[in-house]
Structure 1
Amino acid sequence: MARTGLCDSRTLLDPKKTEERPPLRTWANTYGPRERRSCPDGDERRPQPRDKRITDHKRENQNPRWVRDTVQRLPPCAEDEIIIDYSQNDLGTPDCFEQEAVLSHLQILQMAPSLRDMLPGLLRKEMEVAMDKLGLLYDQSYAWDVFSDMMRSQLRCTLPNAELPRPFSENTRAILVDWLIQVHEVFNFSEETLYLAVHLLNRALRCFKVSVSSLQLLGVTCLFIAAKKEECLLPEISELCYLMANTYSKKQFLRMERRVLGALKFELYNCPPIHFLLLSAYIARCSDKVVCMARYLLELCLLEGQCVVYLPAQLAGAALHLARKIIKEPQSPESESAWCIASTIHVGSEATLHSIMQVMATAAARASSRETRATFVKFSTSATLQVSLHPALSSAPCLLGLQS
């Protein structure tokens, strides 16, 4: 910490005392429907219809959205060619002539033309089920609209380049992110909070100048802002100051919070890659171990500054591809068909996907020997199926034709 200008903070993650830490959220909680968090008075924030009988009657008379013959959809913009969007005829089969953007992406897949034409319709049906099962929305009928908005909005979640302002280096940033992962684990925050905090940190470093002595305060402030957006229960500012060995006062903390929010103009939106990963894994019928491995690889990317230029869907697709290569589970025709449907979410060229996989493989191969080992320790427990201890990770670069 002293070499990078960070204060001597409290010890958070100890590999020898892993069992004493708060348990990581299980995969069942991730894959099952999310329990709606209640207000202090016990009333849920989920809006209730005024007349439930009228609402139910309307839903019974509605046809599924994918078989309507008069659906009017807004066409994707020219700059949003990655959006998978389409209209359908009376038989519920996608119109190939109106889906050039989709089919151009599917040309790289080696499959029969008839199956290629069916993929957009199959993806839409699977997406509605996946979002409902993962608890990402209230009404299943809006699943495709939500997914389309995610695909468009992710363009705002990337940075034009990976260069850091002086005097910061990639090593300094990695040490700070590694410490934030430990703090995130101590408070048992959701994964969305972690990805949003690192995203805000990356943007804040490029929006205004901050001294090396205030870098740790900036990181904790970004985590606190992300928790305000994603969590129900927040830690006290005094607790966060204690974790920084009381190097900063509460007044300094609040001043930094105002500075960050003002520089970012209160634009806190983020489309985390974990959402694309969970959706793709659910549609592809991936096993729990493959999902754990993909989540491990995806979190390792938070330490890599060069990954800030890639789209969240690209990061999620690369993590899932590499996890399947590492685990090497036997595949059935049904699983391969499901994987073909899920692969349509992974936008970008094969070269881009391969570049991200190389970064992930290299990071996974040296994760156990690095100074920043929070993610490695976090995914070495039984709750995460000990995926960071998988023997194939040490030779992961060899799977991609790289030198280990």
Structure 2
Amino acid sequence: MARTGFCDSKPLLDLPKKVDERRAPLRTWANACGPKDRWQPVDADETRMAPVKMEPERRWERSLTMQTSDGIIMGFHEGSQTSSPADGCVEGPVLLYTRGLQGLHSLQALVPTLLRLEVENALEKLNLTWDRTYAWDMFLDMMRTQTWHSFPNADLPRHFTDATRAVLVDWLIQVHEMMHFQDETLYLAVHLLNRALRQIKVTTANLQLLGMVCLFLAAKKEECLLPEVSGLCYLMDHTYTRHELLRMERKVLCGLKFDLSYTPPLHFLLLFASVARCSAKVVWMARFLLELSLLEGQCVVFQPVQLAGAALCLSRRVLQEPPTPEGEAAWCLASSIHVGSEATLLRIMQILVSPAANAYNNEACATSVKFSSAETLHVSKHPGLKNASALLGV
């Protein structure tokens, strides 16, 4: 149980003083993209780059051909069985043709090995794991658990609209920023809100209370230090009592069957960016676009790995940084993690370009203000966002 540290409204407003106490050691990597050298190539041991036998329960298979120059997409099927030739070796993977790569035949056998090595390096570099032995299993678990609570459609109960939901999420972003919570807390809170709106009955008058309860539950799962319930009531201008908040908390937990598990798209985004050797500005732009997806009701039907991949693709197109041979090869390798068709990624990017171009003109602009600081490299003010629609041919 996380300990509480705030007992009235005054200490609640002094949260910046307790930032260092509140950060969990294994979570700090997700709250800042770090210095620019963090995204530089990792010096890998060349002796480990040799082809190895793949485990029999995993297989890479060709799924489709990308028509753009952004990379390749390969489908990963964890449960599929592979056929073993007479010599006992597992059948080799198939690498799709991508422009700009030389030595295609020599690279085919190395793709699964290279990808696994890069994923392990990235998870270790991001301080997500203490033991490299379990890094690949952690990645497989992330890929598997992201589909546990998928939404078949974006429909909300008839008395709620996407605009109402967007205003509530924007308010949650402001509260989350004021409390200096982890970024994972925000993504989990919005995910719990999306599930709660569809699984429990709540009136429009209690919508703000539901949002605060979802943020409170997410903080209990992700944070080391929590505000008092009285402090949360103060943030809602005492519109709801302490008893009402705790009763709504029990209602949400019972409605969700006490299942608060979620793999946030931010984890996939930072993993992709590390594998692809993306610059700090590309990462911050992608994080800005990814947080904008929280406000879009249409994005709830997509998997976290798809949202992360689309945000990173759109970030690269908006910034249009000069490509390098090593960077393009690394991007092709990172693109092989994406799950979904090219049409799916393009659809997500088309959804995000409009709120990105008009971020400051919308009523919900907390995310734009948040990513306009010097710490985030002013990415929300980048002029390329205005032409993002033209880059996608919209």
Q: What's the TM-score, normalizing by structure 2?
A: 0.80
1:334 aligns with 2:334: no
1:192 aligns with 2:181: no
Structure 1 SS opposite 2:361:
coil
CA-to-partner distance for each residue in 1:107-146, whole Å, 9 max, x for gaps? 3645524324321110100111100110111211111111
Shift of 1:98: 6.1
What does residue range 5-404 of structure 1 map to in structure 2 within 5 Å? 25-28=31-34, 74-75=57-58, 82-83=76-77, 97=91, 99=93, 103=94, 106-107=95-96, 109-110=98-99, 111=101, 112-402=104-394
8 Å CA contact 2:31, 2:183 repeated in 1: no
Q: Which has the higher contact order (CA 8 A, sep 6+)?
A: 2
Structure 1 SS opposite 2:91:
helix
Mark the runs of 5 or more structure 1 residues left unpaired by the alignment.
1-9, 11-18, 33-62, 89-93
- Which amino acid in the other structure matches residue 340 of structure 1? C
Q: Aligned partners of 1:30, 1:198: CA distance in 2, in Å? A: 30
RMSD of aligned C-alpha atoms? 3.0
The residue that corresponds to 2:41 in the other structure is none
CA-to-partner distance for each residue in 1:349-382, whole Å, 9 max, x for gaps? 1111100111111120111100000000000011
Shift of 1:333: 0.7
Structure 2 SS opposite 1:82:
strand
8 Å CA contact 2:169, 2:295 repeated in 1: yes
Structure 2 SS opposite 1:307:
helix
CA-to-partner distance for each residue in 1:165-215, whole Å, 9 max, x for gaps? 020000000000000000000011111100000000000000011000000
- The share of aligned pairs that are identical, in percent, is 54
CA-to-partner distance for each residue in 1:16-69, whole Å, 9 max, x for gaps? xxx9xx99954328997xxxxxxxxxxxxxxxxxxxxxxxxxxxxxx9899876
Q: Aligned partners of 2:345, 2:97: CA distance in 1, in Å? A: 13
Q: 1:209 to 1:289 in 2, by over 3 A?
A: same
- Which amino acid in the other structure matches residue 388 of structure 2? A
Mark the runs of 5 or more structure 2 residues left unpaired by the alignment.
1-8, 10-15, 21-29, 39-46, 60-74, 83-87
Shift of 1:283: 0.8
CA-to-partner distance for each residue in 1:140-172, whole Å, 9 max, x for gaps? 111111111111111114211100002000000
Q: 1:399 to 1:96 in 2, by over 3 A?
A: farther
The residue that corresponds to 2:26 in the other structure is none
Q: 1:130 to 1:95 in 2, by over 3 A?
A: farther
Q: Aligned partners of 1:113, 1:66: CA distance in 2, in Å? A: 14
Q: What's the TM-score, normalizing by structure 1?
A: 0.78
Q: 1:212 to 1:65 in 2, by over 3 A?
A: farther
Structure 1 SS opposite 2:316:
helix
Q: Aligned partners of 2:298, 2:364: CA distance in 1, in Å? A: 17
Q: Aligned partners of 1:224, 1:363: CA distance in 2, in Å? A: 27
**May I ask how many residue pairs the two structures share in their alignment?**
339
